[in-house]
Amino acid sequence: MSSGYIITKRSLEALKKRVDIVKFIQEISNKKQLPSSETPPTEGRNTNEGLKKRQDFLLEKTGRSYPNIFNQNVIEDASVVNGNCENFIGTAQIPLGIIGPLNILGTAAQGDFYVPLATTEGALIASYHRGAKASRMCGGITSICFLEGVQRSPVFRFNDMGEMGKFLIFAIESSEKFQDIISTASSHAKILDVKFNIEGNQLIINIEYYTADAAGQNMVTFCTDVLCKWLVDNSPTKPNIWFVESNYSGDKKAAAVSFIHVRGKKVSAEVHLTKEVVEKILRCKPEDMVQYWQSSTIGVIQSGSIGAQGHVANGLTALFIATGQDIACISEASVGITRMELTPSGGVYVSVTLPNLIVGTVGGGTSLPTQRECLEMIDCYGNGKAQKFAEIAAGLALAGEISIAAAIASGQFSQAHKKFGRKKTQ
């Protein structure tokens, strides 16, 4: 997070233009408790009355009006957002476009899909649409969801490794009971593995769950909380303190531990692009596309990224917003590997592997009005659909990787963004 001398000096000069530095530093050191300020009314969390009170409060406090946010035609009944949003005041409206058909040959997803994407970034949808077209013309995208698992990783602290050891032995020897214990917290969760991590007098137990069709972060929290309490209550040794999550699980962040194994769902997708399609649809020479992939892989290694891919985050974010996923999980879901190689017949083989697709088709935001409709658009709403959704998501990512690689390799990247990404009216 450092900057060299010249840039630092220039930043300091810019800062001095913005504030009176001496006064500002004094203010920092002299901060005192602030006089109480009115907070927005939190009662009536998900009622129309509560909503109205908060809207009135905002109008008064900020002296502005918010006709679009407050648009009553969008969510007529505030109880709809129950369980999704506290201090509810209205809605954010994100433009939705579609791409496709995206053709998928998967273990759960099969056929053509018109995929809804919510984005404010011009050129994104056009790019994914082009990738979908090219891959469809080459027989579609094979997409296989093979692994699943969501982790919680509580940590327990002891005086020394001896005390830790007693607890560890108890935990190992009672592991067979864990499934029964957690079943009081969830009827869906199944324990897949229990990993033990000794670090001096601290023990992390990394519990991996199958969470059915839910993304499952809450489910694994509730189960793990119950399990920890049982362990602490029944162990011959008590930890000095314990926490239900040690920040080892990889929740809401790109992390090697998740990349190396799985978090949510792991899906691999592939397509064999023909020479003709690369040249005519993607307007690129196959050799250049593959050369770009190689140079960009060396580039991304040098950047110190986890995994090696292009802009998987773009498509996944747009899909996650549209379909009520936990969008902050894009931090981990966008980690993966893209690979491109010349085929013997002069085309391009492309694969994308995403090991951290935290997605669900029940729970979270999936039942909200537009979110549910978007899931229904690809027949992915409700139980039994999560693997299907994951296979479509990986196929979508593949389409985007194809298109951006071709655009950069052929020199169209800048033009595409000029065409689609600029407000015409500005």
The footprint of a copy of itself on residues 300-339 (CB under 8 A) is: 300-314, 316-318, 321-322, 324, 326-331, 334-335, 337, 339
211 binding a copy of itself? (CB under 8 A): no
105 binding a copy of itself? (CB under 8 A): yes
As a whole number of angstroms, the distance between CA 240 and CA 237 comes to: 9
Question: Is beta strand 241-243 parallel, antiparallel or unpaired with respect to 155-157?
Answer: antiparallel
The residue within the footprint of a copy of itself, chosen from 84, 174, 183, 235 (CB under 8 A), is: 84
* Minimum distance from residue 109 beta carbon to a copy of itself (Å): 11
* Minimum distance from residue 29 beta carbon to a copy of itself (Å): 4
Sign of CA dihedral 154, 157, 161, 167: negative
* Minimum distance from residue 163 beta carbon to a copy of itself (Å): 7
Q: Residues 121, 288, 341, 373: which is the catalytic one?
A: 121
Q: Angle 374-376-379 (CA atoms, 0-180°, nearest 5)?
A: 125
* Minimum distance from residue 3 beta carbon to a copy of itself (Å): 5
The residue within the footprint of a copy of itself, chosen from 79, 179, 184, 383 (CB under 8 A), is: 79
Q: Which helix (H) or strand (E) holds 293?
A: helix 286-302
Q: Residues 326, 332, 391, 401: which is the catalytic one?
A: 326
The residue within the footprint of a copy of itself, chosen from 74, 170, 183, 238 (CB under 8 A), is: 74
As a whole number of angstroms, the distance between CA 401 and CA 143 comes to: 15
238 binding a copy of itself? (CB under 8 A): no
257 binding a copy of itself? (CB under 8 A): yes
Non-local (6+) Cβ contacts of 237 within 8 A are 158, 163, 166, 167, 170
The residue within the footprint of a copy of itself, chosen from 43, 73, 187, 345 (CB under 8 A), is: 73
Stretch 135-174 residues interacting with a copy of itself (CB under 8 A): 136-140, 142, 144, 146-149, 153, 155, 157, 159-163, 165-166, 168-169, 172
CA atoms within 13 A on the CB side of 221: 9
Task: End-to-end CA distance of the chain: give it in Å, rounded.
Answer: 35
Say whether 188 is catalytic: no
Stretch 352-411 residues interacting with a copy of itself (CB under 8 A): 352-353, 355, 363-365, 367-371, 373-374, 376-377, 387, 408-409, 411
Q: Between 165 and 234, name the residue whose CB sits nearer to a copy of itself.
A: 165
How many chain residues are in contact with a copy of itself, going by CB under 8 A? 225
User: What length is written for the chain?
Assistant: 426
199 binding a copy of itself? (CB under 8 A): yes
As a whole number of angstroms, the distance between CA 46 and CA 108 comes to: 36
As a whole number of angstroms, the distance between CA 264 and CA 410 comes to: 35
CB 329 within 8 A of CB 320: yes
Q: Is 84 helix (H, G, I), strand (E, B) or coil?
A: coil
* Minimum distance from residue 283 beta carbon to a copy of itself (Å): 15
Q: Between 234 and 414, name the residue whose CB sits nearer to a copy of itself.
A: 414
Per-residue tokens: 181:
């214990």
Q: Between 47 and 234, name the residue whose CB sits nearer to a copy of itself.
A: 47
The residue within the footprint of a copy of itself, chosen from 211, 214, 348, 351 (CB under 8 A), is: 351
Q: Between 144 and 278, name the residue whose CB sits nearer to a copy of itself.
A: 144
- List C-alpha distances in Å: 394 to 75, 84, 280, 333, 341: 31, 26, 24, 10, 19
Say whether 326 is catalytic: yes
Closest by CA position to 143, among listed 109, 114, 101:
109
292 binding a copy of itself? (CB under 8 A): yes
Stretch 37-66 residues interacting with a copy of itself (CB under 8 A): 37-40, 42, 54, 58, 61-62, 64, 66
The residue within the footprint of a copy of itself, chosen from 179, 184, 234, 247 (CB under 8 A), is: 247
As a whole number of angstroms, the distance between CA 338 and CA 350 comes to: 7
Q: Angle 293-296-302 (CA atoms, 0-180°, nearest 5)?
A: 145
The residue within the footprint of a copy of itself, chosen from 104, 116, 150, 402 (CB under 8 A), is: 116
The torsion of the CA quartet 322, 251, 360, 266, rounded to 10 degrees, works out to 100
Q: Between 234 and 301, name the residue whose CB sits nearer to a copy of itself.
A: 301
Report DSSP letters for 356-417, one per residue.
Answer: EE---SBSTTTTSHHHHHHHHHTT--STT-HHHHHHHHHHHHHHHHHHHHHHHHTT-HHHHH
232 binding a copy of itself? (CB under 8 A): no
Q: Residues 272, 341, 379, 417: which is the catalytic one?
A: 417
As a whole number of angstroms, the distance between CA 362 and CA 376 comes to: 12
Q: Which residues are catalytic?
A: 121, 326, 417
